[in-house]
Chain A
């Protein structure tokens, strides 16, 4: 069975600083995808970044990068140069490439301080 774990219910970061949001996962499938989504207070889910299990390099999308450590089964999200608009819930998610279901972690509430 698949499992996604986010152990940080809440995080604070100073504006312009970098922050790392932790995510660990467990799966017996060799082929899977890892996702990060941002959910502001409006409720919409905003796709941030994707990492495939066979990707050799860590994914990057602008200020977002994914620190993928396959042996440790971790897929931490790094946000560089935090902005006030980054304050939101962040969810890590995983999908195996057979079933197609996207399973979410518990989420981390990020607050950016001015």
Chain B
């Protein structure tokens, strides 16, 4: 079964509004979570890396004031797209790495993704 969940799976919002996407690791603790964006027929582009209890590290070219990331606990990270515009429409995928437990240390688990459409 799924080990990382995302909510919502899809969302449509109006231009100028904000949208929050949740990512949860279900059966392991994730000290590090990653947020990716994927446009149709393209690869996954890393947006930011978040560590529990500290500020996220954003990749070059990603606006940190627009894409707010919070990693408040070992099982939850949120991505908020603020003042969304049509060009923000994309498939957003989170990923989590297990820090301890039975999961292999090298494995990185992905959520099912959230399809955001901004009208």
Q: Evaluate contact between B107 and A101: CB separation under 8 angstroms.
A: no
- Is A36 at the interface (CB under 8 A from chain B)? no
* A91-B112 contact in complex given A43-B91, A50-B106, A52-B106, C-beta closer than 8 Å: no
CA distance A93 to B66 in the complex (A): 27
Q: Distance in Å from the Cβ of B12 to the closest Cβ of chain A?
A: 16
Residues of A35-82 whose CB lies within 8 A of B: 35, 37, 42-45, 47, 50, 52
> What size tier do the contact residues of chain A reach?
20 to 34
Tell me the B residues contacting A by CB distance below 8 Å. Answer: 32, 34, 38, 42-46, 49, 91, 93, 95, 97, 104, 106-110, 112-113, 115
11 extra interface residue pairs, beta carbon distance < 8 Å, beyond A37-B110, A50-B107, A102-B108 = A33-B106, A42-B112, A43-B91, A47-B109, A50-B106, A52-B106, A91-B43, A91-B44, A100-B32, A100-B49, A104-B44
